[in-house]
Amino acid sequence: MFTKEEQKTVNAAFWTRFKEQAGVNKGANGKKVNWVNYPTHLKQLYVRLHTDTEIARFSIDVQAKDDGVRAIIWEQMTELKKVMEEEMNSSGLWEETAYNSAGQTISRISWTLEDVNMYVKEDQDKIFGFFIPLLVGFDRFYTTYDEVLIGLVR
């Protein structure tokens, strides 16, 4: 096991390396994108990248304080499901009711890669190879449909 300081160092190195590898990809609009903290410009919609000693998970979380707003965004996302999954070349797990780490009710679309450990160098390339195509695919989708989603909560 790692000490807290070693964990912190490995985590920082992992995400720095990820930024370097993902950074070679421009966004669908041709601009540079912060792939680690994807800018949805919608405070109720988050792109989450999670990895630990067992899995890597890419998720799109609809996290609104108002359940009605969450339901409206979720409904629109489900209407765009086929288009999104085509852009991402993969079907996700669609959960209308899920919970974040703080126990708040959210809606989530996720893709999971199992049996990987971010602390194992060999697995890091698998994780990067999992995250990057999903991010690029989501960006293609979101660049086309962001105004529809943003317009829902204005």
- What digits encode the pLDDT tens for the residues 45-85? 999 999 999 999 999 999 999 999 999 999 999 999 999 99
Q: Tell me what pLDDT residue 70 has.
A: 95
Statement: residue 1 has pLDDT above 80: no
Per-residue pLDDT of 21-43, as tens digits, reads: 999 999 999 999 999 999 999 99
The answer to whether the pTM exceeds 0.75 is yes
Q: Are strands 93-99 and 55-62 parallel, antiparallel or unpaired?
A: unpaired
Task: Confirm if 148 and 41 have CB atoms less than 8 A apart.
Answer: no
Contact call for residues 106 and 70 (beta carbons, < 8 A): yes
pLDDT at 4 over 80: yes
pLDDT score recorded for residue 2: 76
Contact predicate 45/151, CB 8 Å: no
Residues with Cβ within 8 Å of residue 152, at least 6 apart in sequence: 69, 72, 73, 76
Q: How far is CA 78 from the centre of its chain?
A: 17
Position 74 scores a pLDDT of 96
Residue range 93-150, pLDDT digits in tens: 999 999 998 999 999 999 999 999 999 999 999 999 999 999 999 999 999 999 998 8
3-state DSSP call for residue 71? helix
Give the CA distances from residue 29 to residues 97, 127, 139, in Å, rounded to whole numbers and listed in that order. 32, 25, 9
| Length in residues, the chain | 154
